[in-house]
Structure 1
């Protein structure tokens, strides 16, 4: 195992500096997704609708609409439509998106942004479909039923009640974009105010003095007091889980865009600089799954790298140019495109290899995962659109 990872890392370090040929990468993505669309159609039956990863036998694994990752597959298809203008991708995106329609009423999860904004939100952005807008508003209405004004946050999980009375995870920052959109759509500031309150509470409680993040903050739902600070999907509670830190960077950059609050920009800049300062930031710019997990044979997380790159391209628009966040993002994207892409025609249509889902639970380790592909394409689109 160690020899295999070493050879992979050596290859990555040799080739990471090559430039991205955007047109070729889009053609590659089209080819891969053509494979995935065909396979998913053959497997999509009953409750399973959206590709997520590969199972332990290396076969394509689909998930139900209620899974937190269900919106990324339609989001990938919408982005291919945006890149190419090809009607076939629009049609496939519409079919994949509409399978999630009932999720707008699912109040048993905080993942409405991931599911609905990455699918219906992208569809609205690229087509202006009014029915999508209405579904997004209802999704936001459902999401805010999980808000506790005493805590000042939207509740995350309903499970693990033996560990936390009221858990809030750093990932939840990503669901706030849906609320900001709902206020724009309706003129009702309720959604905006809840998003800002959640972001401010996260700003206060989720960060350590060195700028790293905890994954889970456990609150007392009656008093709002912080009871636990844990890193559930990381190496240990005081370690920094790479994808969690990536969610923080992306989330506060997005919140600055939506509000103009300099506190959010300050935190986004601090988080971006935190990555740069890490002694264990790899030479090929794709982080280990956790920054404190010991040894150099730890699995990488291409999904975290893609999220970071997409956020950095946006942050570059707001921060002083001397910070060169787009250049940082370019280095990450060169590595992902050059050394982490799946071989053409393989991996059942996924774009990127070497992501890590939940290592402590022995789940999705060193596999392709659909959200890595989503944020990789989003970063590629931002690079193109903003001339980075």
Structure 2
């Protein structure tokens, strides 16, 4: 266990669990994937996306075409580790074996990590002019923006600002929103007309941060105006008011995943889901995107309406965790505690197909936890200490329980090999490339690309981002 103490009001047991955020295992796994996945793939044409938990190729990353929306997360993971090495050396997991010399190995490890960051990020940086996707925030910010902020690389700043303008080009004034997808094809639907349709998804809230950031750098208020208008459109069209028997400070909201607008009138043609259970269900990751995205939007605008919206989404998310069926919990080996309640079901309204092993989405939990942490900071700054503590404690509980429930027990470690660092399995033959298990990318029965219960690159990204947030807050 690394010598890291989480300075919070959580129990010492939770502190020990959270130490896995900063363990040698994390950097060892990511380092191995970064090196091996470049073999016959330099510069990268395919990027790590998910790790099957079952089947012939279980344990190894599936590589997806680099144009896919998840391409930014693996280089983002490398940059999160690089950020730790530069800004938070107390949390950078050196080789901890007594026989190894930290003083000789640490610089080698940093140099290797820096080189891998460049190799995996250069093709992503080149995507700055893409106008065929709204996912420019997901693609560019995890690595390219961090490169600018860590190294003052002006080329990276240029890529970030160019990507923001590319994203803004998808704004549809008649709708008051940025077009998310050009096409939606599933077993029961085919939406392909740019003239007659405008698809907007709740995930889009996470890409607005790019526009606000670029707006300040460019002194261009039009980018922030687009982001703000889009956020209000999402609030009015993709959120559902919810009732509760429990008293809450702000109104509660659940989320639709997809709305198809009429570009001629700006009105709603249809509400759907692409990755959730059904149109009117609460897809857990969509709810998490909403919490995080509205919290970010409040931080830029200081419009309390966005803060209240994020709080309403957060309270509903927590309510659904707390009221999930008893089968979501399982006893710990010591029989003294139950865990699993705070690792979300993939969709809160979907029928549970197997009560002995309900389908989860660990990525939804860690995304929501980052949003809750951001909310907690904002509320503390406003003087609302009670609600700030509630969301901080919830974020810590979600992440600590996710680590207990979903952290892969197939661990890796760093080993000295001459002047280099190599990776090996702690137990020979037991390998799982992701840090977390139990993520679900898409379990919609009508989708043509359905896959679930696996490791997932953005589950790991947001788990490690949570760790870096704690570091930035001075809590570790």
2:181 to 157, 160, 165: 157
Kindly report the root-mean-square deviation, in angstroms, between the aligned alpha carbons of the 2 structures.
2.0
1:136 is aligned, of 133, 142, 160, to 160
The match for 1:292 is 349
Answer whether contact 1:350 1:370 (CA < 8 A) is retained.
yes
| Equivalent in 339, 354, 371 of residue 311 of structure 1 | 371
CA distance in 1, matches of 2:40, 2:403: 28
TM-score, with normalisation over the residues of structure 2?
Answer: 0.74
Give the structure 1 partner of residue 247 of structure 2: none
Residue 246 of structure 2 is matched in structure 1 by none
Deviations 1:344-374 (A, max 9, x none): 0355531111100011236331100100011
Q: How far apart are residue 189 of structure 1 and its match?
A: 1.0
Aligned to 2:361: 301
Question: What's the CA shift for 1:140?
Answer: 1.0
SS at match of 2:208: helix
Q: Aligned to 2:49, what secondary structure does the other structure show? A: strand
8 Å CA contact retained: 1:151, 1:219:
yes
Counting helix residues as a fraction of each chain, which structure ranks higher?
1
Match of 1:268 among 299, 310, 327: 310
Deviation readout 1:184-219 (Å, 9 max, x if unpaired): 111111111100010011111111121100000110
Give the C-alpha shift of residue 18 in structure 1.
6.8
Q: Distance in 2 between matches of 1:64 and 1:173?
A: 24
> 2:83 corresponds to which residue?
82
What aligned pairs does 1:103-114 form with structure 2 within 5 A after superposition? 103-114=127-138
What is the rounded CA distance, in whole Å, between the counterparts of 1:129 and 1:45 in structure 2? Answer: 22
What are the Cα deviations for residues 256-292 of structure 1, in whole angstroms up to 9, with x where unaligned?
A: 1111110010011111111222211855311000000
Deviation at 1:84, TM superposition (A): 2.2
Q: SS of 2:39's equivalent?
A: helix
Larger Rg: 2
Q: Which of 397, 404, 408 is the equivalent residue of 1:331?
A: 397
Kindly state the Cα deviation for residue 131 of structure 1 after the two structures are TM-superposed: 0.9
1:244 matches 2:308: no
C-alpha distance 387-322 of structure 1, shift in aligned 2 (>3 A)? farther
Say if 2:51 and 2:434, in contact at 8 Å, map to a contact too.
no
Which whole-Å CA distance do the structure 2 matches of 1:60 and 1:21 have between them? 24
Query: TM-score, normalised on structure 1?
Result: 0.91
Decide whether aligned partners of structure 1 residues 71 and 179 sit closer, same or farther in structure 2, where only a CA change above 3 A counts: same
Match of 1:344 among 411, 422, 426: 411
Q: After superposition, where does 1:99-248 map in structure 2 within 5 Å?
A: 99-160=123-184, 162-163=190-191, 165-210=197-242, 211-248=253-290
Once the 2 structures are TM-superposed, how far is the Cα of residue 45 of structure 1 from its aligned partner? 5.2
Task: Measure, in 2, the Cα distance between the counterparts of 1:247 and 1:363.
Answer: 20
- Cα deviation, 1:41-82, whole Å, max 9, x if unaligned, reads 125257633211136633422223311000001110000011
The gaps in structure 2 that reach 5 residues or longer are: 1-12, 87-109, 243-252, 329-338, 413-429
Gaps of 5+ in 1: 1-15
- Greater displacement, 316-325 / 241-250: 316-325
